[in-house]
């Protein structure tokens, strides 16, 4: 049996079963599903799985974050599900039906740029190292010289590194785009590469020389056909001309494949499609793409460098993280590259790197708040590190969006940092290097102020998240057998359940303040209501985790007073003394019951709650457990619905649950086992 076989079996059930899976694969950290009906996936229950570190839906795919062991988990999942292995392309294709037109468009852009990311990151690092070597006059005896000026060796390294930087950003981008689009559209990739090379050929005027070109220059760089003259313009670093050229070429290739007999396709199709593609690129779509790209660049530059640049920075800094969730952030790659081509640098990328840092800093605050929660730290620490290095998905989907407030704190911190960043016109030479290493991409004159922006992106989200987390009681969880209770309501319920599961009743009794023994507890197969009021089905509770049954079967009560009593004889195995909003009981037969008072009441930090028992106490039916002030709960904007959840049936079989009606505390049976 595989290590993850049990969780894999449960995940299969929670995603809607074998029949709901169209295709499944995995990447470095995530399981990727294309589901026939995404609404059948029980997200809260999936995120409660021990192996799962979060989930999200992107590009029509339902993705479950597993971590570094995802390959082993995937093998176990395939074994228990009987689902045949699928490639990432198969899953993407199957997931398209779950996307709206905007998502499909953004997905297409993402797929074009995704294969280029490793080269872009490498190129960004190379240019960053060149910054340090040849453009930072902070070395030498008087602190005014560069490393390259001090050493012939570093001068050689500085010169050599440009070979790679130029290959990536000046030549590689158009060629890579043409190759990527051709591959995606099912064309001949090598012809796509050739098309890209014709856009950056040394025979053409370099794109960076076009704005300052004179009549004498154009006399040298012009195709003269007699009846028409066409400027020989290169499209180094250009994005839109390459995209438009590649799309046209691929439609030409499809057309000629369709009309040509198979016997002559090898000759006719490549020749005709490439010839027409190159002509279209240089005579029509190249100039159009250049004009559109220039217009986009001018608009963005007006926002970044104009009189309202601080407002632009505030907005962009705040919304970039939400853009990552939707996938729209991939559009910024094209804008950044256009700005670099047009102006020699970009003021957009620095704000993107700051957003990475801000989200990572929010996770850092969660690391501090949950320092005693080993389960949480297994997600928090790797997510924080990856975010600081520019990879935000584990942080946002595994931590920040799970609790919401860290995500918002990160947005606020990013906005504050972006205001300073745009206010001082911090500019990057290249893109691809995010998070803390992003400072390597900055132009030398921007580095000192950008370091200040980075400090803001670290301090503000951390401070805000820490303060809000303290107010919500994130740092006040009580440990149960080595597990620290999470203090957000739904997560607290999940962790309380985990803490109760596997705890021996005998161990709890040994720690009890009472001298009674477990043998003296009455086990009559009935659990009464914990409060007087009106019984309602659990499905009607205004909290999806409880309503969905993710935590277990149970009932809910709309109370008429603020008294909560023991519903049966049991041992108190969990008592949230700091907040008073949750109690865990273990019955004689091992059945475990969670009593959760109110929705989101953990945020009250115990205000209005009085605990009458402690962990380890033995209670009998009708004994007071907690008193709470209903008026204070209402004033705080919370509902005081009380949930009674069987988190572990123990040896009990099926449960019989009462449906609705008036109930009296400690006197009306609502759960029978």
Active-site residue set: 27
Question: Phi, psi at residue 231, to the nearest 5°?
Answer: -65, 140
Of the candidates 147, 38, 145, 27, the one whose C-alpha atom is nearest the C-alpha of residue 89 is 27
| 575 within 8 A of 611, measured Cβ to Cβ | yes
11: left (phi over 0), alpha (psi -120 to 50) or beta: alpha
| 499 within 8 A of 455, measured Cβ to Cβ | no
283 vs 176, 224, 275, CA distance in Å? 21, 12, 12
User: How many other β-carbons are positioned within 10 Å of the β-carbon of residue 438?
Assistant: 26
> 608-614 long-range CB contacts below 8 Å, 24 or more apart?
608/632, 608/633, 608/636, 609/579, 609/580, 609/581, 610/580, 611/575, 611/577, 611/580, 613/572, 613/575, 613/583, 614/513, 614/572, 614/575, 614/577
The DSSP H or E segment spanning 559 is strand 553-559
The DSSP H or E segment spanning 536 is strand 533-537
| 35 within 8 A of 15, measured Cβ to Cβ | yes
| 442 within 8 A of 350, measured Cβ to Cβ | yes
Q: Please, is 320 exposed, middle or buried when counting C-beta atoms within 10 Å of its C-beta (0-12, 13-18, 19+)?
A: buried
Of the candidates 587, 581, 572, 575, the one whose C-alpha atom is nearest the C-alpha of residue 528 is 587
Of the candidates 438, 460, 328, the one whose C-alpha atom is nearest the C-alpha of residue 316 is 328
Of the candidates 640, 610, 656, 618, the one whose C-alpha atom is nearest the C-alpha of residue 531 is 640
Name residues whose C-beta falls within 8 Å of residue 232's C-beta, 6 or more positions apart in sequence: 203, 204, 205, 221, 222, 223, 282
125 vs 130, 172, 352, 504, 513, CA distance in Å? 9, 15, 16, 55, 62
| 205 within 8 A of 221, measured Cβ to Cβ | yes
Name residues whose C-beta falls within 8 Å of residue 288's C-beta, 6 or more positions apart in sequence: 241, 244
The DSSP H or E segment spanning 276 is helix 262-280
| 548 within 8 A of 40, measured Cβ to Cβ | no
The secondary structure of residue 391, as a DSSP letter, is: -
d(CA 313, CA 595): 47
Helices (H), 114-202: 117-134, 147-150, 152-165, 173-184, 189-199
Angle subtended by helix axes 349-369 and 405-423, to nearest 10: 140
């Amino acid at each position: 049996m595989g290590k993850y076989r049990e969780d894999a079996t449960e995940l299969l059930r929670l995603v809607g079963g074998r029949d709901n899976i169209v295709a499944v694969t995995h990447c470095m950290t995530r399981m990727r599903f294309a589901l026939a009906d995404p609404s059948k996936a029980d997200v809260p229950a999936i995120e409660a799985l021990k192996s799962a570190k979060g989930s999200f839906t992107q590009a029509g795919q339902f993705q479950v974050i597993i971590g570094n062991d995802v390959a082993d988990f995937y093998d176990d999942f395939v074994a228990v599900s009987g689902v045949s292995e699928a490639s990432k392309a198969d899953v993407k294709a199957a997931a398209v039906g779950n996307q709206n037109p905007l998502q499909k468009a953004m997905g297409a852009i993402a797929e074009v740029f995704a294969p280029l990311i490793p080269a872009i990151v490498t190129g960004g690092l190379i240019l960053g190292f060149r910054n340090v070597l040849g453009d930072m006059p902070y070395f030498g005896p008087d602190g005014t010289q560069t490393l390259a000026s001090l050493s012939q060796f570093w001068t050689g390294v500085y010169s050599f590194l440009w070979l790679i930087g130029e290959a990536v950003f000046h030549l590689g981008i158009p060629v890579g785009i043409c190759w990527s689009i051709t591959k995606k559209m099912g064309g001949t990739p090598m012809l796509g590469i050739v098309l890209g090379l014709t856009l950056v050929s040394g025979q053409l005027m370099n794109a960076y020389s076009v704005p300052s070109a004179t009549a004498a220059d154009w006399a040298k760089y012009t195709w003269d056909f007699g009846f028409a003259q066409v400027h020989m313009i290169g499209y180094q670093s250009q994005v839109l001309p390459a995209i438009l050229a590649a799309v046209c070429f691929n439609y030409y290739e499809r057309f000629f494949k369709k009309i040509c007999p198979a016997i002559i396709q090898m000759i006719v199709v490549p020749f005709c499609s490439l010839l027409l593609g190159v002509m279209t690129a240089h005579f029509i779509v190249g100039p159009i793409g250049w004009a559109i790209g220039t217009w986009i660049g001018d608009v963005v530059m007006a926002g970044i460098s104009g009189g309202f640049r601080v407002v632009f920075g505030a907005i962009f800094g705040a919304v970039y993280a939400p853009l990552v969730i939707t996938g729209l952030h991939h559009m910024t790659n094209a804008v950044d590259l256009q700005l670099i081509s047009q102006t020699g640098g970009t003021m957009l990328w620095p704000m993107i790197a700051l957003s990475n840092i801000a989200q990572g800093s929010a996770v850092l605050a969660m690391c501090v708040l949950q320092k005693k929660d080993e389960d949480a730290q297994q997600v928090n620490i790797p997510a924080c590190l990856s975010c600081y290095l520019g990879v935000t998905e584990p942080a946002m989907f595994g931590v920040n969006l799970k609790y919401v407030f860290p995500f918002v704190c990160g947005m606020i911190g990013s906005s504050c940092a972006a205001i300073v960043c745009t206010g001082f016109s911090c500019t990057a030479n290249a893109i691809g290097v995010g998070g803390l290493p992003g400072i390597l991409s900055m132009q030398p004159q921007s580095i000192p102020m950008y370091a200040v922006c980075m400090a803001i992106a670290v301090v503000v989200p951390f401070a805000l998240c820490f303060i809000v987390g303290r107010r919500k009681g994130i740092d006040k969880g009580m440990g149960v057998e080595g597990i620290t209770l999470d203090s957000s309501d739904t997560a607290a319920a999940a962790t309380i359940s985990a803490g109760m599961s596997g705890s021996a009743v005998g161990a709890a009794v040994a720690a009890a303040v009472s001298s009674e023994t477990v043998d003296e507890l009455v086990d009559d197969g009935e659990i009464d209501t914990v409060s007087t009021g009106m019984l309602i089905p659990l499905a009607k509770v205004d909290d999806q985790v409880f309503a969905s049954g993710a935590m277990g079967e149970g009932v809910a009560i709309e109370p008429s007073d603020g008294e909560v009593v023991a519903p049966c004889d049991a041992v108190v195995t969990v008592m949230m003394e700091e907040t008073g909003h949750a109690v865990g009981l273990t019955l004689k037969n091992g059945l475990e019951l969670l009593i959760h008072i109110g929705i989101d009441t953990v945020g009250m930090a115990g205000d209005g709650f009085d605990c009458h028992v402690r962990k380890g106490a033995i209670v009998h039916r009708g004994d007071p457990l907690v008193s709470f002030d209903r008026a204070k709960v209402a004033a705080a904007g919370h509902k005081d619905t009380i949930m009674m959840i069987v988190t572990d049936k123990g040896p009990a079989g099926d449960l019989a649950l009462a449906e609705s009606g008036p109930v009296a505390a400690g006197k009306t049976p609502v759960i029978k086992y």
